[in-house]
Structure 1
Amino acid sequence: MVLVPETQFWQFGKWVEVVVDDQLLLDETGKTLKYGRSTDENEFWMPLLEKAFAKLNGSYEAIIRGFARNAFVDLTGGIGETIWLPNCPPKNLCKRAQKALDRNSLMAASITGKRGKRPDGLYNHHAYSITKIHKMTVGVKEMEFVRLRNPHGKNEWTGDWRDDDETNWSKVDPKEKEKMQVKKEDGKPEDGEFWMSLDDFRKVFHLLHICHLDANAPREKDAPFRWHSNSFQGRWKSASGLNNPDAFWTNPQFYVSLSEESEILISLIQKSRKDLLWIDFDVYKYLDNPDQRKRLLSSLKVEKKVTSWLKEKNKVEDRTESLKLTRGDYLIIPMNRASEEGDFLLRIFTEKKHLFRKLEIK
């Protein structure tokens, strides 16, 4: 038995080291690894990484289910964002996905519903990587396409624009097809990678998971974009929940100043994964006078928000939102629904430089 050098995972603002040995579980045959494995029988980094991740979370069973977004964050320390695709307009979706790829963000998509294989060759509750967005003219119509990959390396989409869809691909210029790297050949096995039209993608998939990498994450040398990031560890007091409007102003308050218009990602993570609270945050225009801020927060009709939360939201580990804010000063209020104590991590990524600090509440 050999100990494997430390593997690090991001947990609530810190990198945690995990040490494992090189003993790996085999299936019933005693010849094949039971869980993750590479197509190269001599490559073991992936099952060793999986073992370390299982140790961090308590067992292999604990990492069987979950969202790709959370795994991305644990592996990279980035900010995870999930988009409900049925509510995302096509033009906005194409633009956001392309921008994410240009910024070296990690992306995956998944389908809700009963677990198992679908008639179209895809699986519900399975993460498919998104590796490229492409626009081209087909006939007289400009179309957008999404390239996805099943990490299992097989079981591809069997609908329109599948690798061997000669009817549709015959309409595409051979040079364009070569540029898109459509590589299905007779007698060759599937590689798990396939193209779909954006329209089909939106009809089939329900969730788009994006992990925005912070300034310190490894990236390609020719990727000039880097987020400006900040974070703060905080704690809710027992009286500041939304069900106690008179004490809402006692919630932690954070000041953000933007010198120019900027895209901003705000992520709120609660630090207990067992006893989850209903959490959220609001963004307001900043008032410099503490008494004015108190009057503003005390006058909010937060009782209505409690009702809407119960109807529209579930208890989750984190909330993330992408905003476009103009130049100015802003106030971020992280909150929970009940008057319960709890620890949280608030993070912001901004496209442009910013100032960020926690305000004293008196």
Structure 2
Amino acid sequence: MIWLEMTAEKDGLFEDPNFKADDSALFSDYTTPLSRLTGKVTWLRPKQICKSPCLFPDDFTEAYPKQGILGDCWLLCACNMLLKSRYLLDQVMPPGQCVWGKRGYTGQFWFQFWRNGHWTKVQIDDRLPCINNTLCFSRCHSPMAFWVALLEKAYAKLHGSYERLWAGQVCEAVVDLSGGVAERWSLKKSVNTPGGKSLFPELSEEMRKQSYISCCVHEAPMGASEQGQFHALNVMEWKDVKTSAGAQVQLLQIRNPWGRRCWEGAWTERGSGWTLLDPSCSADLLGHTKEGEFWVDEMEFRQKFDEVTVGYPISEDHCLQSIYTGSLLTHTQQIGGSWVKGHSAGGCRNNSSYSSNPKFWLKVREGGEVLMSLLQHGPWSSLYNSQKRKSVGNTPQHPYYQAIALHVWKVPSEVDCMVISGTVCPVTSCVPHAHSQEISVQCRLPPAGYVILPSTYQPDCSAEYTLTIAQKIPRKAISCQERLGQAVQETSHVCVMGL
């Protein structure tokens, strides 16, 4: 973990010298609409904004994020995941921090984010950007709750500025706030949904309740064109209801981080869809609809939304839970690696150098569900420029993510791992290469030996990554060895080893 010391001012309240309360914290390159705020923002502590600030309101439904003038709906949608899991919330925002009005309060808070394969600690002061004495970026629905605004500031510090949060992917924020795995499915291309099938049958009713689900539109929602061409929203609830005629309808409750119901359709507050249901059912569903929430049916959902992000639930034992089977993947192993130019950066299967990519020997002794994820390490933000910057070989980390993929082959023995050819079809893979922070492959593997090969699309692209393998097997039955060239001891259900 990286620890940055704070400096105390004479009034006893901390002011962070590494993320100053000025334009340097707001802007990186002045290329987004945020640049219009130059010189207009004041920085206030919560006690200067309201009389009795708190982290969380007594009514937890008032703790949901509400988007300000910063385009970080993708982050706020992931923040809703923390409100579903006390375990994850305590992981990201450790409990016991001294707050306003309490003895020992110093104006300092700290958060943890999953970055490059480990939890990274970020400390901040509680001076927040305001216009006219009101928070100008994200806030809670309760004006007295400040957990969202503080988390957003810590995440901005991690990235180098608030401006760098203007656009992003929900799946990346989900990983950063959970240390887990998220999958992204297209609703327009059936091949991108699991197994090429309809999205909804893939998620059981139980998993719909436990999984974190977000949906995105690539064009502005109806009635909200001023917000641009990308917006992320949360799927809060699923309801199977019957019409008065006996037909079954699946309804999804959507939360808009703008905090308003910018939507038109059959299931809006005065929509025609409610007339199809029993009046008591309609009144019940509408009565549980909060500010910024609305309902859509499955057909409308598929027509209006472009993609879905699903985050794997994580147990208090930090075990991933499969979104396909509901099983706890009780054994997880993480292995760090790198692609090095001229040595182990062979590129995609179209290149003759493909077999020079890193290889991992996987021994499955008891068949079952296996989840593999490849997390590529991003560049450190300007926050850490004072620290020693990591490099791969002699090449500094690339400032953008590479297009990456995972392929898995069945092989007779460990020796055969060294002669993998790009012309032989793998048993499973993630296709195609994607410019993503993380990609994953979920499959069922029978007992056998396999080789896992992570690759970038272009050859000679240096980068670091973390490979994660998770399976439902007893922890006691696992022993893994990572030393290069050492024979794998077949005393476990699954053994993973770098070659």
* TM tier relative to shorter chain: 0.7 to 0.9
Inter-partner Cα distance in structure 1 for 2:357 and 2:182: 28
**Counterpart amino acid of 2:127?**
Q
Assess, with a 3 A threshold, how the Cα gap between structure 1 residues 145 and 350 changes in structure 2: closer, same or farther: farther
**Counterpart amino acid of 1:350?**
Q
1:261 to 368, 381, 390: 368
Gaps (5+ residues) in structure 1? Answer: 303-308
Report whether the alignment pairs 1:355 with 2:494.
Answer: yes
Tell me the SS of whatever aligns to 1:56: helix
Within 5 Å, which residues of 2 pair with 1:210-225? Answer: 210-215=310-315, 216-217=317-318
The aligned counterpart of 2:44 is none
**Counterpart amino acid of 2:417?**
R
Report whether the alignment pairs 1:230 with 2:327.
Answer: no
Report whether the alignment pairs 1:300 with 2:423.
Answer: yes
The aligned counterpart of 1:305 is none
Range 86-95 or range 147-156, more displaced: 86-95
Within 5 Å, which residues of 2 pair with 1:28-177? Answer: 30-88=132-190, 92-98=198-204, 101-102=207-208, 104-113=210-219, 116-119=220-223, 124-138=229-243, 139-165=245-271, 167-177=272-282
Gaps (5+ residues) in structure 2? Answer: 1-12, 14-105, 321-325, 380-398, 426-430, 475-492
Shift of 1:300: 2.4
Assess, with a 3 A threshold, how the Cα gap between structure 1 residues 156 and 358 changes in structure 2: closer, same or farther: same
**Counterpart amino acid of 1:300?**
T
Q: TM-score, normalised by structure 2?
A: 0.60
Q: Which structure dedicates a bigger proportion of its chain to strand?
A: 1
The aligned counterpart of 2:466 is 345
**Counterpart amino acid of 2:177?**
L
Within 5 Å, which residues of 2 pair with 1:197-346? Answer: 197-215=297-315, 216-217=317-318, 226-228=328-330, 229-238=332-341, 239-240=343-344, 241=346, 242=348, 244-246=351-353, 248-257=355-364, 259-262=366-369, 264-273=370-379, 274-290=399-415, 292-295=416-419, 297-298=420-421, 300=423, 315-337=435-457, 338-346=459-467
Range 192-201 or range 349-358, more displaced: 349-358
Inter-partner Cα distance in structure 2 for 1:143 and 1:346: 41
CA contact (8 A) 1:149 1:193 kept: yes
CA contact (8 A) 1:122 1:155 kept: no
1:58-108 alpha-carbon deviations (Å, 9 max, x no partner) = 111111210111111111111021001112379631123446844722111
CA contact (8 A) 1:234 1:252 kept: no
The aligned counterpart of 2:128 is 24
Tell me the SS of whatever aligns to 1:358: strand
Assess, with a 3 A threshold, how the Cα gap between structure 1 residues 275 and 122 changes in structure 2: closer, same or farther: closer
1:326-356 alpha-carbon deviations (Å, 9 max, x no partner) = 4544322111231333211112333556624
1:310-334 alpha-carbon deviations (Å, 9 max, x no partner) = xx65533322233344454432211
Assess, with a 3 A threshold, how the Cα gap between structure 1 residues 91 and 164 changes in structure 2: closer, same or farther: farther
Assess, with a 3 A threshold, how the Cα gap between structure 1 residues 144 and 41 changes in structure 2: closer, same or farther: closer
**Counterpart amino acid of 1:235?**
S
Q: TM-score, normalised by structure 1?
A: 0.81
Identity %: 23
CA contact (8 A) 2:171 2:309 kept: yes
The aligned counterpart of 2:67 is none
The aligned counterpart of 1:183 is 287
Inter-partner Cα distance in structure 2 for 1:85 and 1:265: 22
Inter-partner Cα distance in structure 2 for 1:324 and 1:275: 32
Shift of 1:244: 4.3
Inter-partner Cα distance in structure 1 for 2:266 and 2:225: 12
Assess, with a 3 A threshold, how the Cα gap between structure 1 residues 356 and 127 changes in structure 2: closer, same or farther: farther
Assess, with a 3 A threshold, how the Cα gap between structure 1 residues 73 and 99 changes in structure 2: closer, same or farther: farther
Inter-partner Cα distance in structure 1 for 2:296 and 2:177: 28
Higher relative contact order (Cα pairs below 8 Å, separated by 6+ residues):
1
The aligned counterpart of 2:24 is none
1:203-247 alpha-carbon deviations (Å, 9 max, x no partner) = 11111011113344599xxxx953332221111233441364255
Shift of 1:281: 0.9
Shift of 1:4: 2.4
